[in-house]
Amino acid sequence: MDDIVLIVKEGISEKEVLNLVESNLPDDLQLNNNKHSYVIIKII
């Protein structure tokens, strides 16, 4: 799977973003919560 890059505003914690993403994933997909997670968060 390709990396997913999320750009979020400052003040939102990484955990909040991951929770939001995970709650919106299809049932057969799960986030990989280790260092090799495919979600990259960029804070602007």
> For position 19, what pLDDT does the model report?
81
> For position 32, what pLDDT does the model report?
59
Could you tell me the two tokens for 22? 């995970």
> For position 24, what pLDDT does the model report?
75
Give per-residue pLDDT as tens, 1-44. 566 677 777 787 878 877 887 787 777 766 655 544 456 666 65
CB atoms closer than 10 angstroms to residue 5: 10
**38 SS3 class:** coil
**11 SS3 class:** coil
Instruction: Identify whether the C-beta of residue 40 lies closer than 8 Å to the C-beta of residue 7.
Output: no
State if pTM tops 0.75: no
